[in-house]
Structure 1
Amino acid sequence: MSFSLYVHIPWCQSKCPYCDFNSHAASSWPEAQYTRALISELEYRADTTPSYSGQRIRTIFFGGGTPSLFDPKSIGEIIDAANRVCGIEHDAEITLEANPGTVDLAKLGGMRAAGVNRISFGAQSFNDATLKFLGRIHSAGETRAAARMAHRAGFDRLNLDLIFAVPGQTVAEVLFDIESAAALEPDHISAYNLTFEEGTAFFTDLKRGRIKQLATDEQAAMYQTVREEIPRRGYAMYEISNYAAPGHEARHNLTYWRAQTYLGIGAGAHSYAGDGRGGQPKRWWNEKLPAGYISAIEERKSAETGAEAIDEATAQSEFVFLNLRLREGFAPADFHERFGRDFECIFGIVATRLFNDGLLTLDRGRIKLTDRGLEMADSVFAEFV
C-alpha cells in the first residue's frame, strides 16, 4: 500500500477575489521556519498514524497559495525528507503549482533538479482583460513564456488551469483560451467553471450587485464548448473539469476522486485515512493561520484542530459521488470490494431513478454520468448524500 502527500504553501503575492483556499497575501514569509515545520509534521504522522507508518509515497502535490514563491532548495528539502521518512516510489508524480508571474528559467530548473517532475500553472485565461478582472498578477504573455521555459527546464508534464463563465466572457473567448492553452503543448488541461464561494471578494460583490453571473444557459454553452473543444485537441476528458493526453492524468487528484488515503501537511491542510489500516475511516484538518500552524508544530508536533470519524453510510456516499466525477465512473464490484455490500442494496432505488432520467448509464459494467448527467452533476451527487 502507499499514500499521497499534499503539502500546503499558504502565501501569495496577492489574494485573488474568487479564491476560497487557505491563502494569505504577503510580501515576505518565514520560509525556513515553515519548511522545518512541514518536515516535523511529516515525521510525526509517519511515526504515529497507522495509515502512513511503513507506507511509501506515490504522489506529492505542492499546492497553495503560490508554492513557486518558495526557493527550490526548500522544496527539495521537503522532498528529500519525504523520501527519508517514508520512501518515495521510483515513478512518483511530484507536482508543484506555480503562478506564471513568479518563475524564471533558473527557478524552474531548480525545481526540476529538486525532484519536481510536474508543473501546474494557473493560466486561467489568455485574455489580459479577463486576467485583470480575476485579480491575477500575471499576463497572458507571461503564461506563454513560463510554459516555454518549463519545457526547456525539462518538464515533460505540464498542466494549465483555465477558468470559464467569467462575467462578460463570451463563448468565442473561451474557445480562444482553449486554443491558446493547447498551442503551448501541455500534457494536461484543467478547466473550471467560475464559482462564487462564500467568504470571497467576488461573493460579496455578487451579493451587492457589483458583478453579475452569466445566465445558466450561457454557462452551459461554455461548458459544452470546453467538453467538445479540449478533447478535439488531443486531451481526453477523464473528470468533470480535467483533460489529459493518454496516460497523463493527474495521479495525485485521482487519489481524491477514488476516495483513497492521503496525508495533508501545512497550514489548513486536510488529511483522509480511508483504507482501514487505522480502523474506521477518518479525516482531520490543521490550524489555518500560518503563524499558529508553526507554533503548534514546534510545541507539540501536530497542528490538528479538528477531526471526524466517517461512518459507513457517509463513506459509501462519498465513494459513489467522488468516483462519478470520473468519466470512467466505477464498477459495482469496486463498491463491493471496498464495503462488502452490494451497490444495488444500498443505492438501488436512487440509481434506478437516475438511470431512468438519463443522468446515469451502465457502460461495459461501469456506472457513469451521461452527457446530460455531467451538466447536472451536482444534482446527481446530491442524490447519494
Structure 2
Amino acid sequence: MSFSLYVHIPWCQSKCPYCDFNSHAAASWPEADYTRALISELEYRARAPSYSGQRIRTIFFGGGTPSLFDPKSIGQIIEAASRVCGIEDDAEITLEANPGTVDLAKLVGMRAAGVNRVSFGAQSFNAATLKFLGRIHSADETRAAANMAHRAGFERLNLDLIFAVPGQTVADVLFDIGSVAALEPDHISAYNLTFEEGTAFFTDLKRGRIKQLATDEQAAMYQAVREEIPRRGYAMYEISNYAAPGHEARHNLTYWRGQTYLGIGAGAHSYAGDGRGGRRWWNEKLPARYIAAIDARAHAEAGAESIDEATAQSEYVFLNLRLRDGFALADFHDRFGRNFECIFGGVATPLLNHGLLTIERGRVFLTDRGLEMADSVFAEFV
C-alpha cells in the first residue's frame, strides 16, 4: 500500500486575477517556520491508520509558487517524508514553478534535493495574453526556464497553457502550442480559462469590464487543442492533460482515480478512503493561523466531511470520466461490489443515447462530443 503527498506552499510574488487557489502575494515569507510546521504536520498525520505503514508513491509541491522556497527547504521536507514514511524508489516528485523565479543554480539545487519533475506555468507565449492574465514573466523567461530545467537534469518537464482568453484567436492558441512543443517537455497541460467566484476576473466579469469568449469560440479552441497537441506527439489522457507515452502525471492520477492522498500545508485538502467511502478534511487557509495551529496541536484541521458509499460511487464515476479511457466496468464492480449499470443505469442511458458517453471493450468513457460538454455530463452523476 502507498499514498500520495501534496505539499502546499501558499506564497506568490503577485496574485493572478484568475487564480482561486489559496495563495497570498508577499514580498517575504516565514520559510523556516513554515517548513518546520509542514514537517510537524507530516509526522503527526503519518501515525494515523490511513497512512501508517504506507510508503509515499508521489509528492507534489503546489501553490502558490513553491519555487520561491530555497532548495534546502524543499530537501528538508523530502528528507522528512523519507524518514517518517519512506518514499518508493521510483516515486514521482513534482515542483510547481513560475518561469521568472528560477535560475540554473536553483534548478540544480531542486534536482539534488530529490525533485525529479518540474511544472512551469507558461500560460502563453503571447505578450498581450500574458499581460491580460496578470503574469509577471515573459515568453523568453519561459523558454529560458525550460532550457535550464533540461540542463539541470530534469527528464520530466510539464508546461501549462491557458486558452479561451478574451482577445485570443485560434491562431494564437496554435502559436502557443507550437511554442510549448518546441521546448520539448514530456507533458503539456492546457486549461480553458474559467472565471471562478472570489477572483478578480469574476468581479470584472460581473461588472462588465471583461467579456468571455462566445461558447462556439471556446469550443473551436478546445477542438484545436485536442487535435494539435496530440499531433505534436503528446497523447490526450485527461480532459486538460497530454503526455508522451508513459509520462502521465502520476500524482494527478491519484486524484482522478479516487485514491488516498495526504495534503499538508495551509489550506491543503486530504482524502483517506477504503474504496467504498472515507473522510475528507482541509486545513486552516491563512499561513499564520496554520503555523500557530501546528505549534499548538500538531495539526491544522479546519473542517471535514464523511464520504458515504453513494457519494464515493458518484465521485469515482465523474473523476474517472475526466480520463480519456474512463474506467473499467470490472474495476467499478470490484470497488463497490455492484454493477455500474445497476446504480447509474438511469443516468447513463440518456447520455449514451445522446452520444456523450460510450461503452467499449468493457470501459466507460466520454465521446469527443462528451468532452466538449464534460461539466454537464459530470453534473448528472452528482
2:345 to 348, 351, 365: 348
Displacement after TM superposition at 1:371 (Å): 0.1
SS at match of 1:247: coil
Runs of 4+ in 1 over 4 A off after TM superposition: none
1:349 and 1:35 map into 2 onto residues whose CA distance is: 49
Structure 1: stretches of 5+ with no match in the other structure: none
| Partner residue, 2:214 | 215
Q: Is the 8 A contact 2:166 2:213 kept in 1?
A: yes
The C-alpha deviation readout for 1:10-38, integer Å capped at 9, x for no partner, is 00000000000000000000000000000
| Partner residue, 2:315 | 318
User: Alignment identity in percent?
Assistant: 88
Displacement after TM superposition at 1:280 (Å): 4.7
The C-alpha deviation readout for 1:166-185, integer Å capped at 9, x for no partner, is 00000000000000000000
2:169 and 2:221 map into 1 onto residues whose CA distance is: 8
Letter in 2 for 1:284: W
Residue 332 (structure 2) pairs with residue 335 (structure 1)? yes
| Partner residue, 2:4 | 4
| Partner residue, 2:132 | 133
Within a 5 Å distance, the mapping from 1:171-182 to structure 2 comes to: 171-182=170-181
2:335 and 2:265 map into 1 onto residues whose CA distance is: 29
| Partner residue, 2:292 | 295
Structure 2: stretches of 5+ with no match in the other structure: none
Within a 5 Å distance, the mapping from 1:76-225 to structure 2 comes to: 76-225=75-224
1:89 and 1:377 map into 2 onto residues whose CA distance is: 34
Displacement after TM superposition at 1:128 (Å): 1.1
Displacement after TM superposition at 1:352 (Å): 1.2
1:214 and 1:189 map into 2 onto residues whose CA distance is: 23
Displacement after TM superposition at 1:341 (Å): 1.2
1:246 and 1:253 map into 2 onto residues whose CA distance is: 16
SS at match of 1:209: coil
SS at match of 1:210: coil
Letter in 1 for 2:327: F
Displacement after TM superposition at 1:145 (Å): 0.3
Q: Over the residues paired in the alignment, what is the CA RMSD in angstroms?
A: 0.7
2:299 and 2:116 map into 1 onto residues whose CA distance is: 29
2:51 and 2:336 map into 1 onto residues whose CA distance is: 21
**TM-score normalised by structure 2 residue count:** 0.99
Letter in 1 for 2:45: R
Residue 262 (structure 2) pairs with residue 263 (structure 1)? yes
Residue 362 (structure 2) pairs with residue 365 (structure 1)? yes
Letter in 1 for 2:132: F
Q: Is the 8 A contact 2:98 2:120 kept in 1?
A: yes
The C-alpha deviation readout for 1:95-131, integer Å capped at 9, x for no partner, is 0000000000000000000000000000000001110
Displacement after TM superposition at 1:275 (Å): 2.6
Residue 67 (structure 2) pairs with residue 61 (structure 1)? no
Q: Is the 8 A contact 2:265 2:283 kept in 1?
A: yes
Q: Is the 8 A contact 2:277 2:311 kept in 1?
A: no
Displacement after TM superposition at 1:363 (Å): 1.8
1:170 and 1:186 map into 2 onto residues whose CA distance is: 24
Letter in 2 for 1:363: E
2:343 and 2:277 map into 1 onto residues whose CA distance is: 19
The C-alpha deviation readout for 1:33-55, integer Å capped at 9, x for no partner, is 000000000000011x2111110
Q: Is the 8 A contact 2:320 2:326 kept in 1?
A: yes
Structure 1 stretch displaced more, 356-365 or 146-155: 356-365
Q: How many residues align?
A: 382
| Partner residue, 2:16 | 16
| Partner residue, 1:38 | 38
SS at match of 1:5: strand
Q: Is the 8 A contact 2:60 2:93 kept in 1?
A: yes
